[in-house]
């Protein structure tokens, strides 16, 4: 989806360490609206932890199992299954606060240092790698975040000690209380996992294996939470953004008939959005667009509403109106790369000279803000090719294959680009980066 995306690849600098070693992949969900909602929930907690809110990323993995973990010093990853199980903004903020505490307390930094000392490049790359990019719900190949070179290395990195867990519990509760979030919600989250440690590892949710959970820990946590009681009040804004994130996630991942039954009488903006997505997936585009018209009337200046409308229109082959919807979204959120990428894609679909010219400019802006989006790079390569710039088209194609770990193919396109572009030009230098990465990956094989 332009809205919800499953992504393939790693940052180019780390692809060379991981490409020959990746054992399995999972989908990283990218959605401008959901990521905005997660930022709204995380920002007050990050601020209380002394972490710049703008430096913290909270992203979703398309995985039904319940789990959350820190990937590096600024990235928290949460499984979609956990978000769909949670019942309040405070519960999701409890998960985020706990993981922020692992970052603020230096647990991840120490591990990264130890891995560097051990020259565990594959495991280090795994933890620090983020795929950012796109495939849509319209049948594009879904893809993912490389999640393992070896399952033992993954478990070793993610598994916190009980001392770390107790420390993160206490710190996370402090952040919640100071930010006005009910600390009792952290205990509610842990109740989801109660009793799982007695199960075989194959039946446990990953959270239990990576975050040691005991009755003693739950008792201690509830005691800490009681000490902070009375410092929190309900937050309607947080609940609203939680409802949008969970509602949109469920609308795209769950059965459309289920969504329509649950949202049938919900006349809120979230209910309209859920019905629009469900009708779109049925597919019943006219019904979807009727819901979008009501939603747009209720929230005329919401960029994510216009983005979703653009996606539905584009995937229904109504290209002209889709361009207009994406243009409105981009005007309202000019720095959002996922919206810019969708706008560029719609402009390309016009298949006109002017549309191609505008698409190239928009997609270059998108790349400047998020250079690790494979679908955007595919579209950018097409825009360059239509402009007659085959050298830059080959650069974008090379980078796209490199992000997917297909280093031999990436090298072929980078070699072609280097032969077409002026030596020392920005595009030529980007081609050299891909060639260097491919050479390093070849040596590791």
Q: Name the band, by pLDDT with cuts 50, 70 and 90, for residue 225.
A: confident
Length of the chain: 445
Give kind and range of the element (H or E) at residue 62: strand 57-62
pLDDT in the model for residue 129: 36
Mean pLDDT of 84-107: 93
**Inter-residue long-range contacts of 378-387, CB under 8 Å, 24+ positions, other chains counted:** 379/341, 379/344, 379/345, 379/348, 380/344, 382/348, 383/344, 383/348, 383/356, 383/359, 384/360, 386/348, 386/356, 386/360, 387/356, 387/357, 387/360
Give kind and range of the element (H or E) at residue 5: strand 5-7
Phi, psi torsion values for 205, nearest 5 degrees: -70, 150
Residue % of the chain over a pLDDT of 70: 76
Q: Name the band, by pLDDT with cuts 50, 70 and 90, for residue 24.
A: very low
Question: Counting beta carbons within 10 angstroms of the beta carbon of residue 119, is it exposed (0 to 12), middle (13 to 18) or buried (19 or more)?
Answer: exposed
Q: Is 314:346 a contact under the CB 8 Å cutoff?
A: yes
Terminal alpha carbon distance of the chain: 35
pLDDT higher than threshold 50 for residue 145:
no
Among 389, 376, 312, which Cα is nearest to 340's? 376
* Between 9 and 54, the higher pLDDT residue: 54
Pairing of strands 75-79, 68-72: antiparallel
CA–CA gap between residue 286 and residue 46 (Å, rounded): 42
Report helix, strand or coil for 179.
Answer: coil
pLDDT in the model for residue 29: 87
CA–CA gap between residue 147 and residue 242 (Å, rounded): 26
CA–CA gap between residue 41 and residue 89 (Å, rounded): 7
pLDDT in the model for residue 138: 33
In this prediction the pTM is 0.82
CA–CA gap between residue 67 and residue 193 (Å, rounded): 10
Report helix, strand or coil for 380.
Answer: helix
Strongest mean pLDDT among 69-83, 134-148, 167-181? 167-181
Mean confidence (pLDDT) of the chain: 82
CA–CA gap between residue 38 and residue 9 (Å, rounded): 22
Question: Counting beta carbons within 10 angstroms of the beta carbon of residue 332, is it exposed (0 to 12), middle (13 to 18) or buried (19 or more)?
Answer: middle
């Amino acid at each position: 989806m332009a809205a919800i995306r499953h992504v393939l690849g790693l940052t180019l600098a780390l692809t060379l360490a991981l490409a020959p070693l990746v054992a399995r992949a999972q989908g990283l969900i990218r959605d401008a609206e959901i990521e905005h909602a997660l930022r709204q929930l995380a920002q007050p907690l990050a601020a209380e932890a002394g972490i710049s809110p703008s430096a913290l990323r909270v992203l979703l993995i398309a995985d039904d199992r319940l789990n959350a973990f820190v990937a590096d010093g600024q990235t928290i990853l949460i499984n979609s299954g956990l978000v769909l199980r949670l019942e309040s903004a405070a519960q999701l903020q409890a998960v985020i606060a706990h993981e922020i505490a692992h970052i603020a307390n230096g647990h991840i930094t120490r591990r990264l240092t130890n891995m560097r000392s051990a020259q565990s490049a594959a495991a280090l790359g795994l933890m620090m790698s983020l795929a950012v990019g796109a495939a849509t719900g319209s049948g594009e190949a879904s893809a993912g975040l490389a999640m393992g070179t070896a399952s033992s290395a993954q478990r070793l990195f993610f598994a916190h000690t009980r001392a770390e867990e107790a420390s993160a519990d206490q710190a996370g509760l402090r952040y919640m209380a100071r930010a006005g979030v009910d600390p009792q919600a952290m205990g509610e989250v842990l109740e989801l996992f109660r009793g799982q440690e007695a199960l075989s590892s194959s039946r446990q949710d990953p959270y239990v294996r990576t975050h040691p959970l005991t009755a003693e820990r739950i008792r201690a946590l509830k005691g800490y939470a009681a000490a902070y009681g009375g410092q929190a009040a309900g937050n309607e804004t947080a609940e609203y953004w939680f409802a949008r994130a969970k509602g949109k996630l469920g609308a795209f991942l769950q059965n459309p008939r289920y969504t329509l039954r649950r949202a049938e009488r919900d006349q809120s903006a979230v209910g309209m959005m859920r019905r629009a997505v469900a009708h779109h997936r049925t597919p019943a585009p006219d019904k979807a667009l009727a819901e979008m018209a009501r939603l747009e009337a209720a929230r005329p200046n919401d960029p994510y509403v216009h983005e979703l409308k653009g996606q539905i229109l584009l995937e229904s082959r109504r290209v002209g109106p889709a361009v207009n919807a994406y243009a409105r979204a981009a005007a309202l959120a000019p720095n959002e790369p996922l919206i810019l990428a969708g706008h560029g894609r719609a402009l390309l679909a016009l298949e006109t000279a002017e549309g191609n010219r505008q698409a190239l400019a928009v997609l270059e802006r998108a790349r400047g803000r998020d250079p690790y989006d494979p679908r955007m790079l595919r579209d950018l390569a097409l825009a360059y090719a239509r402009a007659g710039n085959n050298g830059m088209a080959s650069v974008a194609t090379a980078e796209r294959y490199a992000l997917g770990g297909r280093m031999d193919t990436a090298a072929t396109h980078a070699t072609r680009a280097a032969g077409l572009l002026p030596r020392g030009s920005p595009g030529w230098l980007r081609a050299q980066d891909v060639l260097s990465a491919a050479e390093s990956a070849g040596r590791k094989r």
